[in-house]
């Protein structure tokens, strides 16, 4: 996509490309997701990550990649319980806190919730996106 995005364009792309399975998450589609997310995240003040994965370790690895891409530093000591049969990991960079729980659902991927402190900013939740998008 070399065209200039609008909020409506980015939202449409993310709506259409949410919940892709590994076979349909082609490199072109991944690139479209990344571009739309990059655009929308610049319209927001902060993000909250929600990750559905098989294990705590897999969720943390995904969070590390997403956080690095969006330039968030994670706390060095997370003291998270090792869960190996489905996990939901939520991370709020604003207060640098984690929430971890068992997750029995079928989805695997990352939800990104965008928030703004001002009425002219962007707020919305999008996903699930591939754990290895970044």
pLDDT of residue 32: 94
Q: Decide: helix, strand or coil at residue 11.
A: helix
Structural contact between residues 48 and 115, judged by C-beta atoms closer than 8 angstroms: yes
Q: Which two tokens stand for residue 59?
A: 């969720």
* Domains identified in the chain, total number: 1
Query: Which residues does residue 56 pair with via DSSP β-bridges, in sequence order?
Result: none
pLDDT for residue 1: 46
Residue range 41-64, pLDDT digits in tens = 999 998 999 999 999 999 999 999
Which residue has tokens 């349909």? 24
Query: Do residues 87 and 104 touch, judged by C-beta distance below 8 A?
Result: no
Residue 84 in contact with residue 55, Cβ under 8 Å?
yes
Q: Is residue 123 part of a domain?
A: yes
- For tokens 């000591």, the residue is 77
Give the pair of three-digit tokens for residue 86.
């489905």
Please state the pTM of the whole predicted model. Answer: 0.88
**Secondary structure class of 46 (helix, strand, coil):** strand
Mean pLDDT confidence for 112-126: 89
Does residue 134 lie in a domain region?
no
Query: Per-residue pLDDT averaged across 86-115, rounded?
Result: 94
pLDDT at 27: 92
Nearest 10 degrees: Cα torsion 116, 102, 67, 46: 10
Is residue 1 domain-resident? no
| Predicted local distance difference test score (pLDDT) of residue 99 | 94
Compare 57 and 78 and report the one with higher pLDDT: 57
The domain of 119 spans 7-129
> What is the rounded average pLDDT for all residues in the chain?
91
| Domain-embedded: residue 2 | no
- Report how far Cα 116 is from the mean position of its chain's Cα atoms: 16
The CATH number of residue 59's host domain is 3.30.360.10
């Amino acid at each position: 996509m070399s065209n200039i995005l609008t909020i409506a364009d980015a939202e449409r792309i993310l709506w259409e490309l949410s919940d892709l399975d590994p076979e349909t998450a082609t490199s072109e589609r991944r690139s479209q997701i990344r571009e739309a997310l990059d655009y929308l995240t610049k319209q927001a003040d902060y993000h909250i990550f929600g990750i559905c994965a098989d294990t705590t370790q897999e969720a943390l690895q995904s969070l590390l990649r997403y956080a690095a891409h969006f330039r968030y530093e994670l706390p060095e000591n997370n003291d998270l319980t090792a869960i190996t049969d489905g996990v939901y990991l939520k991370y709020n960079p604003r207060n640098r806190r984690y929430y971890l729980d068992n997750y029995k659902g079928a989805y695997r991927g990352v939800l990104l919730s965008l928030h703004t402190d001002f009425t002219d900013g962007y707020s919305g939740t999008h996903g699930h996106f591939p754990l290895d998008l970044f």
